[in-house]
């Protein structure tokens, strides 16, 4: 009688009913082992897939945290930059005011020292022409004691 599976090891053999049952049992055992092996392989595959997913989730969370940290640093840096720009604007305005005051003071010194290129003995100081005489000294002192007016609150009107 031929084996139920056809050939065994590539050849047809006639077996007794006892060895046919042994062959069937061996094939069933092989099939059972293969099924167990496949289940174990599928279990390991699911575990690898789950571990990979867990790793990706952990990496995504870490990247979210890093992104939040970088965004916080960027916001802080942006605020510092804006503050520095505002301060620079104030300082530029103060520099312009001081340069204008220095230029005016130098012109007054030239007039007092007789180095003026103008033939007039008067000069312009804020509110009009003033004669150069001994009464001008308090006016010069009040001019040089004026506060610098530029400030951040005056520079930005949003």
Q: Give 12-49 pLDDT, tens digit per residue.
A: 454 455 688 899 999 999 999 999 999 999 999 999 99
Cβ proximity of 133 and 72 under 8 Å: no
Confidence of residue 144 (pLDDT cuts 50, 70, 90): low
Q: Give 103-115 pLDDT, tens digit per residue.
A: 999 999 999 988 7
> Is the confidence at residue 153, as pLDDT, over 70?
no
Q: Which pLDDT belongs to residue 2? A: 47
> Is the confidence at residue 70, as pLDDT, over 50?
yes
CA–CA separation, 146 and 101 (whole Å): 10
- What's the average model confidence in pLDDT over 46-55? 98
């Amino acid at each position: 009688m031929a084996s139920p599976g056809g050939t065994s090891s590539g050849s047809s053999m006639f077996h007794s009913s006892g060895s046919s049952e042994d062959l069937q049992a061996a094939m069933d055992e092989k099939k059972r082992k293969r099924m167990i092996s496949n289940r174990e392989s599928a279990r390991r595959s699911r575990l690898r897939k789950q571990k990979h997913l867990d790793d990706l989730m952990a990496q995504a969370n870490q990247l979210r945290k890093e992104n939040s940290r970088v965004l916080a640093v960027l916001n802080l840096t942006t605020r510092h930059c804006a503050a520095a720009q505002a301060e620079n604007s104030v300082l530029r305005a103060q520099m312009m005011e001081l340069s204008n005051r220095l230029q005016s003071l130098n012109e007054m010194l030239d007039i007092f020292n007789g180095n003026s290129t103008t033939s007039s003995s008067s000069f312009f100081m804020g509110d009009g022409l003033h004669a150069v005489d001994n009464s001008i000294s308090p006016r010069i002192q009040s001019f040089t004691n004026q506060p610098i007016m530029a400030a951040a609150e005056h520079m930005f009107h949003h």
